[in-house]
Amino acid sequence: METGLFPGYRGERRNLRMATPVVLAHKVWHHIGTWLNKRRVRLCATWDAFAGLGVDAVVASQTLQTCVFATEKDRHTYTLLCDNIRRHGANVVARYTDAFQDPFRVDLIYLDPPWEDTFCPTKPFDFFGKFRALLMFMQNWGRFVVIKTPLLLGPTKPPWDPVYAYRSEKYRIIVWLFDTSPLADAGSVGPLESIDEQDGTNQHGQGDPHVGQMTAE
């Protein structure tokens, strides 16, 4: 089925509940692409390690003008992923495999692992503590790492200093961009720009305590 949040993408209720809404994916990858372009970073390949229905993989390939490898270990979800890629004609290569068992060496890795049944949107979720082993494994396979987390986070800090972060109050998420190279400049995180989702007016507000400054919508 398709819903208003996922026009053009096939999925089932359990898939759609965890997928990134299309409008949010376009906003996120636009901001990340702008950050990379300003620094003249050219990506040859990107890897969506937990691709799901493929919304982020498709939008990233179109926005960043890069080849995206998309891995998914659930057989039925993988079938839907392949169908969505065909629908959009995106430069995405799907692989039915586990991210840990078949990693790709790329320029940028996108991580949106399932938050599982312990996640509650009204309570802090210790994302960086729960997935620390995953993050440390992934830094060996790509310089840039993009991670989607809940808005309310637990006490564990990210393993690297973020160079950019995008917050959505409406969708209750933060998308982080990390440069894991030794020469990364964490001081490039820009000032917080908060965009009211009702009328589009700009205003200023407070960011997440782990980063302090971010773009928010």
Q: Specify whether the CB–CB gap between 10 and 80 falls below 8 A.
A: yes
Q: Specify whether the CB–CB gap between 37 and 43 falls below 8 A.
A: no
Could you tell me the pLDDT band of residue 111, with boundaries at 50, 70 and 90? very high
pTM of the shown model: 0.85
For the chain, the structural domain boundaries read 13-216
| Helix (H/G/I), strand (E/B), else coil: 144 | strand
CATH number of 13-216: 3.40.50.150
Rounded Cα distance between 5 and 24, Å, is 9
Could you tell me the pLDDT band of residue 211, with boundaries at 50, 70 and 90? very low
What would the pLDDT profile of 113-170 be if each residue is shown by its tens digit? 988 766 787 899 999 999 999 999 998 999 999 999 999 999 999 999 899 999 999 8
Q: Specify whether the CB–CB gap between 64 and 29 falls below 8 A.
A: yes
End-to-end CA distance of the chain: 28
